[in-house]
Amino acid sequence: MIAYVFPGQGAQFSGMGKDLYENQPLAKELFETANRILNFRITDLMFEGSDEDLRQTKVTQPAIFLHSVVLAKTLGDKFQPEMVAGHSLGEFSALVAAGALSFEDGLQLVYKRALAMQKAGEQNPGTMAAVLNLPDEKVEEICAEIDDIVVPANYNCPGQVVISGTVGGVDAACERMLSAGAKRAVKLKVGGAFHSPLMAPAKEELEKAIHAATFTPPVCPVFQNTSASGETDPETIKTNLIAQLTAPVKWTQSVRNMIAAGADDFTELGPGNVLQGLIKKINQHLISG
């Protein structure tokens, strides 16, 4: 069964989507529509912007969403997914590609999400760190022991969990993770403590926008970050999407469930191939485990 997956923040690069814009009339039309909706030429930043330009949350998120969705749309009849999933921001790309959300509504939600997350990151400063080679249960246990706010934020693959919280909480947790045998605990360059309680103000803002948008049943199950299961009911999809900002991204669990549901061909749509690497590790772990 064919599964399409869509990347999240961090996959961006200068020049992303330029070849599509120049060679595909439909892509050019979608990019120009996006420029109008956003009221600035995001294409200029995507095609010519510096790494610093592209690292701004308000640019990164719509840029990655655009690249992913345009790729899916330009596949035309070749795009026939039997299931889809997206990592964090990528969930919005997956929902649009699967027909649960229109392109316009999806882009507006992503932009509102990006602005709300950037604002929440300024209101409640925090950070994130990748913890390598420690069992998920141990990461959860250590986070629970810290007095400050720190939680598992992304279950990326076996042996790679990203934690999120206050700077003090993440620093204290990293120290304990290393003492407990983690190979590394690396702080990430991010604009806030994503997928943690510190994103609560952003969740409130996005909730209103999600309720105002029109959701329809997707053409195939969408494996969502918070439930890790294939959803088709628009109300369930909305509820999970709202919860996503303060809840962990259960990527390992989602991929395992997709494989259990019959997925044997994963295609990544978007900049880079980070998810392909994670899926290989998850699958390899399933086979060897």
**Active-site residues: which are they?**
88, 195
Of 34, 61, 42, nearest to 245 by C-alpha is 61
Of 130, 110, 103, 6, nearest to 60 by C-alpha is 110
Token pair recorded at residue 133: 């080679």
Would you tell me how many other CB atoms lie within 10 Å of the CB of residue 226?
A: 21
Residues 6+ apart with CB under 8 A from 115: 57, 58
Q: For residues 224 and 237, is the Cβ–Cβ distance under 8 A?
A: yes
* H helical segments located in 157-233: 167-179, 200-212
Q: For residues 106 and 94, is the Cβ–Cβ distance under 8 A?
A: no
Would you tell me how many other CB atoms lie within 10 Å of the CB of residue 210?
A: 21
